[in-house]
Amino acid sequence: MNKCAIHQPHYFPWLGYLNKMASVHKFILLDEAQLEKQSPMYRNKLSTWDGQEKYITVAFQKKGFLEKKFSELMLENEIDWQERQKSFIFNNYKKEEFFREVWSEVEFIFEKKYQSLKDVTLDTIYLEKKIFHIEAEIVLQSSLEYNRELKKNDLLISLCKKVDADFYLSGNGARKYMDVALFEREGITVDFQKYSVIQYPQKHTFVPNLSALDLLFCCGINKANDIFWENFHAQN
């Protein structure tokens, strides 16, 4: 089977996102989707030194953003969001044993001069994909030729066909609106992601569903990979 998943781009994705990516051969990023308010497409959660979750957020130009595609959104670089995030990470993770090892991998995200929200968000996805040795091929929605008037199930089916997928892995939240019979009529098997929270040593009481950066800073790259893949194989 040629397995496919389809997802919005996420800024410094969490572990469930990476689990989904690792489960398929083709991972289609919806870079033409519209941005939603309070979306992980431009922010994600890390932990403070005392174990409280806190969002790190990319500043983008908000005028008319609800009518624009994700790929059209430009950054608000008059706000030094990179320095703010860098300061937060240093203030809350610099005492971790593996801080320098991980920071050497992620530092460029906070130094590179970005212009678009798409570029910085994609860089964080490709970075985590590399660190966790995920083999799935990332395909951008914008790179595919398809009928852009399609919506919901019809859009997903069309995108699956464009990458020759005969298996679609969906998130559990889609059970409410997915018409599985439509996929099956098109020769596409549907399954829903099996994922449970990965627990690992943190600074204080465990806080779930943070960006994968937290696991990396707390455990180091090698141990983080061991934890991620042991959990993956146990659930798949």
**98-139 confidence digits (pLDDT tens):** 999 999 999 999 999 999 999 999 999 999 999 999 999 999
What is the predicted pLDDT for the residue at 173? 82
Residue 95 pLDDT more than 90? Answer: yes
**Confidence class for position 2, pLDDT limits 50, 70, 90:** very high
What is the predicted pLDDT for the residue at 205? 87
Residue 217 pLDDT more than 90? Answer: yes
What is the predicted pLDDT for the residue at 189? 97
User: What is the C-alpha separation between 185 and 154, in angstroms, rounded?
Assistant: 12
* 199 DSSP assignment: P
What is the predicted pLDDT for the residue at 36? 84
For the chain, the average pLDDT equals 95
Q: Is 21 left (phi over 0), alpha (psi -120 to 50) or beta?
A: alpha
User: What is the C-alpha separation between 181 and 197, in angstroms, rounded?
Assistant: 30
User: What is the C-alpha separation between 95 and 98, in angstroms, rounded?
Assistant: 8
What ranges do the domains of the chain cover? 3-235
Check if the beta carbon of residue 212 is closer than 8 Å to that of residue 14: yes
pTM equals: 0.96
Q: Which two tokens stand for residue 65?
A: 């953003």
Q: Is 233 left (phi over 0), alpha (psi -120 to 50) or beta?
A: alpha
pLDDT in tens, 128-173: 999 999 999 999 999 999 999 999 999 999 999 999 999 999 998 8
What is the predicted pLDDT for the residue at 236? 79
What is the predicted pLDDT for the residue at 172? 86
How many helices and strands (H and E) does the chain possess? 8, 7
Minimum mean pLDDT range among 11-20, 31-40, 86-95, 102-111: 31-40
Instruction: List the alpha helices (DSSP H) in the chain.
Output: 15-22, 81-93, 99-106, 117-131, 152-162, 180-185, 212-219, 221-235
